[in-house]
A and B are shown apart, each in its own frame.
Chain A
Amino acid sequence: MLEIKCPHCGKRSQNEFAYGGDATIKRPKLGEEVSTKDWDDFVYFRDNPRGKHQEFWHHVSGCRQWFKALRDTATHEIFNTAKLEEDL
């Protein structure tokens, strides 16, 4: 079981968290003209790296805050977690 440091609450076991996927994806702005390719890139396409991966986690059974983590997808090591407004 992973041990994840919620930037708000501290280290907790993974079963308090829900995964939120790739954190490098930026949603196009509301009302903005967006090409089909750009939109589909946002909805469906992923970098999917082996190694360092920026991702969202949600402390669902805790403070219910979403935050970012930098985790290695090959070893599962978590290098850092950060509040949304902070850099990883």
Chain B
Amino acid sequence: MQKYSVFSLIKNAFSDHQNWDLAWKDPQPKKEYDVIIIGGGGHGLATAYYLAKEHNITNVAVIEKGWIGGGNVGRNTTILRSNYMFDANAHFYELGMKLWENLSQELNYNVMYSPRGIINLAHTDGQLNAYARRGNSMRLNGIDAILLNREEVRKMIPFADFSETCRFPIVGGLMQPRGGTARHDAVAWGYARQADAMGVDIIQNCEVTGFDVENGKISGVRTSRGDIKAKKVGLCVAGSTTLLADKLNMRLPIEAHVLQACVSEPVKPLLHNVVTFGAGHFYCSQSDKGEMVMGGDLDGYNSYAQRGNLPMIQHVLSGGLAVFPNFSRLKMLRSWGGIMDMSMDGTPIIDKTHIDGVYLNCGWCYGGFKATPCSGFVFAHTIAKNEPHELNEPFNLERFHTGNILDEKGVGPKPWIG
């Protein structure tokens, strides 16, 4: 594989960039694979990569209905963090942070991990105390966290509303300095390129239409490009999990909901950090291109449409102006939606299933992007070893029966309530 570097870039410039290799091949599906990963999103591609790299399993196909990276990995707001309260989440996402920190070098693809700090704004002392509880928990778990007072927040985002007329004044915030952003498309492409180089077949425009299960064991998948045999099959299709699980007669604690996001036009650097509003639904970061990348809450009814309606955007942007009143004269350039696999406790599911050889990776709610590396890492382990990695053991499906649910928000099994 060609190594990407400034030198290869210069070298290729002198041949008019005519000699760059394919980033990944476009193979015909083979008759049989050791492992088929369904879903060519970030998680599926990362899983294939770690199967090859960590477990030396390379007879792997990633099959994708459309084009790789076209689902939530390509339509999220690119925020990375591990600022969770529950230990299970904290340790899992912290593995993610550690993988993010070296990902560009590991993949030889600049995923632009940018630890610009994520600040959760607090608007009452009670809220700041609740954040402190989380921040202290993070610190006890060995994760970076800083508690900011009003003046410290003001230094970081002086253009935020610190006025007397502010409806919900900023009293402080919780910051994870290592939190930040990455370039979403690059993550999918970087994993795809390395997985491909290690022998993984990336098969696009290939829709799964059914499964072959014999005596409780998977034997293959049926696709729009023919039947493919497989010893093991991993589902990485957050947003469409139910649609495939239906074909395996699995009913899941998941609902599909649409989450919208939008960007402003690009402007010169203004907002350094990732900021979340604590008195409404709004979060924002500025991309390297200069766009303010903004998101908020679900549209609030079950949906498989990758688009939403304007009132939710209006609601989110009103929260935006409550924090940043100067954003009023910026313009919204584009809005879009993604389908969220909303699990009933807000926490993902990475587990084996009742079918031997079928593995489940789903329920990512709004937070799947940041988990891309660690999800792939532990899912590859789960598939290779046929048992969960210790970090995804708590993310089992059984928890909805035992009661070991992981409800960070404490809203219960109504995903549409924000």
B242 contact set on A, CB distance < 8 A: 46-50
Q: Are A48 and B252 in contact (CB under 8 A)?
A: yes
Whether B302 lies near A48 (C-beta < 8 A) is yes
- In the assembled complex, how far is the CB of residue A11 from the closest CB belonging to chain B, in whole angstroms? 16
- Among A35-43, A59-67, A79-87, the stretch in contact with B: A35-43
B309 touches A1 (CB 8 A): yes
Minimum CB–CB distance from B346 to chain A (whole Å) comes to 12
Cα distance, A29 to B344, chains bound together (Å): 22
CB of B414 within 8 Å of the partner chain? yes
Residue contact A74 to B254, C-beta cutoff 8 Å: no
Determine whether the beta carbon of A73 is less than 8 Å from that of B256: yes
A43 to B: closest C-beta gap in Å? 6
Report the Cα distance A75→B307, complex, angstroms.
Answer: 10
Also in contact, A75 and B305, with CB within 8 A (given A21-B416, A44-B400)? yes
By the criterion CB–CB under 8 Å, are B311 and A1 in contact?
Answer: yes
Task: Name the residue on A nearest B414 (C-beta).
Answer: A21
Whether B303 lies near A73 (C-beta < 8 A) is yes
CA gap between A55 and B301 in the complex, in Å: 9
Residue among A2, A48, A75 making CB contact with B255, cutoff 8 Å: A48
Given A15-B311, A40-B400, are A46 and B304 neighbors across the interface (CB < 8 Å)?
no
Residues of B within 8 A of A46 (CB): 242, 251-255, 344
Known contacts A21-B414, A44-B400, A76 near B252 by CB under 8 Å: no
Contacts of A44 in B (CB 8 A): 253, 344, 400, 413
Interface of B, secondary structure class, is: mixed
Contact A55 B302 (CB under 8 A): yes
Contacts of B254 in A (CB 8 A): 46, 48
**What range describes how many residues of B lie at the interface?**
20 to 34
Q: Give the CA-CA distance A44 to B401 in the complex, in Å.
A: 9
The answer to whether A73 and B344 have CB atoms under 8 Å apart is no
Distance between B11 CB and nearest chain A CB, rounded to angstroms: 48
- B252: contacting residue among A22, A45, A49, CB under 8 A: A45
Q: Which residue from chain B places its CB closest to the CB of A13 in the assembled complex?
A: B311
CA distance A49 to B245 in the complex (A): 11
A contact residues around B252 at 8 Å (CB): 45-46, 48
Q: Point out the residues of chain A lying under 8 angstroms from B414, CB to CB.
A: 21
B300 within 8 A of A: yes
Instruction: Fill in one digit per residue for A8-33: 1 if any B CB lies within 8 Å of its CB, else 0.
Output: 00000011000101100000000000
Instruction: Report if B166 contacts A (CB, 8 A).
Output: no
Instruction: Select the residue from A21, A37, A44, A47 with max chain B CB neighbours within 10 A.
Output: A44
The answer on a CB contact under 8 Å between B400 and A45 is yes
Task: Tell me the complex Cα distance, A73–B303, Å.
Answer: 4
B residues less than 8 Å from A68 (CB atoms)? none
Residue from A15, A22, A46, A71 having most chain B Cβ neighbours under 10 A: A46
Q: Which residues of A contact B243 (CB under 8 A)?
A: 50
In the complex, how many angstroms separate the beta carbon of B256 from the nearest chain A beta carbon? Answer: 6
B301/A71 in contact, CB under 8 A: yes
Across the interface, do A50 and B256 meet the contact criterion of CB distance under 8 Å? yes
Contact pick for A74, options B251, B253, B300, B304, CB 8 Å: B304
Q: Which of B301-342 contact A (CB under 8 A)?
A: 301-305, 309-311
Q: Give min CB distance, A41 to chain B, whole Å.
A: 7
8 A–B pairs (Cβ distance < 8 Å), ordered by A: A45-B252, A46-B251, A47-B251, A49-B242, A50-B242, A50-B304, A55-B301, A76-B305
The 7 closest A-B pairs by CB, nearest first: A44-B253, A48-B242, A50-B304, A44-B400, A44-B344, A19-B301, A74-B304
Partner-B contacts on A (CB < 8 A): 1-2, 14-15, 19, 21-22, 36-37, 40-41, 43-50, 53, 55, 71, 73-76
